[in-house]
Amino acid sequence: MTRIPAPERREALVQAALRVVAERGVAAATTRAIVAEAGMSLASFHYAFVSRDELMTELINFVVDRQENALAPLLVPDGSTRTLHEAVRAGLEHYFAVLRAYPQREKAMLELTQYALRMPDMQPLARRQYDRYRALAASALAGAAKLTGNRWARPVDEVARQLVALTDGLTMAWLVDRDDDAAAVIMDLAADAIVALAEPATTTPSTGHPTPTMTRTS
Amino acid sequence: MTRIPAPERREALVQAALRVVAERGVAAATTRAIVAEAGMSLASFHYAFVSRDELMTELINFVVDRQENALAPLLVPDGSTRTLHEAVRAGLEHYFAVLRAYPQREKAMLELTQYALRMPDMQPLARRQYDRYRALAASALAGAAKLTGNRWARPVDEVARQLVALTDGLTMAWLVDRDDDAAAVIMDLAADAIVALAEPATTTPSTGHPTPTMTRTS
DNA sequence: GTCTATAAAGTGATAGAC
DNA sequence: GTCTATCACTTTATAGAC
């Protein structure tokens, strides 16, 4: 009907595809289901994309970039944070609140990751996805330590890797049994584990000048 | 050709389906691919199962039971274990060795879990799967603590839940980037985190009689 | 019980009118 | 550029010969 530039059509189709994947899964994201969701005809799909594979690739790239923007503000500790433990716990809580509010979104992310792992040419996309998660976590962790007067006893990349692993485990656990109390237990223990990797910051190592900041509060 | 009893045919088809899922993914596990893998004709499939859904349900039940048998011996600490930290690290190492040797197997488990999460009637199967993981982890953790003269400061079910979450995160991380060194980091930190939840066992709480067993060795 | 043949519906992709 | 109509193929499931 109306004439729409190709780039806009591509974006509309990608977003429609994401909705379909979130609501009904990757397997249900057929070209027909996607164009129906976008309110277009089937032919429009192949005008904007040469193939379904091309759309799936763009979809994964899209969600990876989007994830970065969506999660970044959540992991930055706010002014009310006093201890590192509070900051980490708050970050986990924030992540969990999003998971709880939009479970299909995280389910979609997991499915898309596994989809990428099955496609010979898409492994790099899955890696990029996790690299971003970790970079995001690392910068949040670095900021949180700095703000609370701590430093990481391990390379911050390793701490970030652990935080992402814990977050994946939390996500799977909650998606499977939807048990908020059990999720809270995981977050408690995860925060303890992460904070145990930090120590009070000192301007010079081994200085007899401990900062008043606590490494951990239980 | 040859006449085979229905129960045997069902089992053969389930195992063929598992091989197809492991090698090519859930999406590729069509009835045709499965009967080809089993060396049967398409009609034999519908003689043994009324539908593909029925086979998928039986497949998930099958792998859940199988997982229990396959992993149980790996998590029991052997006689050479001296400290709890060694026991936990060895358990993780064992799990990782299996993951590394048969990555398709774990990929298949993850895919089947997500498949179950999308099917309205299969959520209980996914829950049962994780219940078994956790029960298995709990019994291994209880045994390891006992053998090394420790006790869990938290309910062992909570510790087990955390261990399973960490294992899931480890699995996802390794499947995505196949980085053995990064996996070793995750296992190190995971073992530290788990062991931090234990304390030396005392016959009576608050007795001034510490056992010689160390809670943790780094 | 097991096969071949086929039905009925769904899939990605394209042709060709407008 | 956008549509309808359709192709060529795959899917699950069944009929009917043996």
Q: Report the pLDDT averaged over residues A142-167.
A: 96
Contact B164, B133 (CB under 8 A): yes
Residue the block writes with tokens 């998971």: A99
pLDDT band for position A70 (cuts 50, 70, 90): low
* Residue B208, pLDDT score: 45
pLDDT band for position B54 (cuts 50, 70, 90): very high
pLDDT band for position B95 (cuts 50, 70, 90): very high
Q: Which tokens hold the place of B75?
A: 């998590």
pLDDT band for position B6 (cuts 50, 70, 90): confident
pLDDT band for position A80 (cuts 50, 70, 90): confident
Q: Work out if A30's Cβ lies within 7 angstroms of strand C.
A: yes
* Residue B217, pLDDT score: 45
Task: Select the residue of A25, A161, A166 nearest B182 (Cβ to Cβ).
Answer: A161
pLDDT band for position B209 (cuts 50, 70, 90): very low
Looking at every residue in chain A, the average pLDDT score rounds to: 90
pLDDT tens for residues B114-151?
999 999 899 999 999 999 999 999 999 999 999 999 99
B25 and A166 within 8 Å at the Cβ level: the answer is: no
* Residue A16, pLDDT score: 98
Looking at every residue in chain B, the average pLDDT score rounds to: 89
Is residue B155 classed as helix, strand or coil in its secondary structure? coil
CA dihedral A27, B62, B19, A104 (to 10 degrees): 20
Q: Is B132 on the interface with A (CB under 8 A)?
A: no
CA of A165 to C1' of D15 (A): 53
* Distances A38 to A18, A34, A146, A195 between C-alpha atoms, Å: 11, 6, 45, 45
Shortest CA to C1' contact from B45: nucleotide: D13
Q: Is A27 on the interface with B (CB under 8 A)?
A: yes
| Residue closest to A63 by CA, chosen among A92, A102, A5, A6 | A102
**Letter for the amino acid at A105?**
R
Distance from B53 to chain A by nearest Cα, in Å? Answer: 14
Please count the other Cβ atoms lying within 10 Å of the Cβ belonging to residue B66: 14
pLDDT tens for residues B23-34?
999 999 999 999
Residue B65 pLDDT more than 70? yes
Q: Report the pLDDT averaged over residues B74-98.
A: 84
Please report, rounded to a whole number, the percentage of residues in chain B having pLDDT higher than 70: 86
Q: Which chain A residues are closer than 8 Å to B134 by Cβ?
A: none
Q: Report the pLDDT averaged over residues A159-173.
A: 98
* Residue A205, pLDDT score: 54
Contact A100, A180 (CB under 8 A): yes
pTM of the model: 0.91
Q: Is B153 on the interface with A (CB under 8 A)?
A: no
Residue B153 pLDDT more than 90? yes
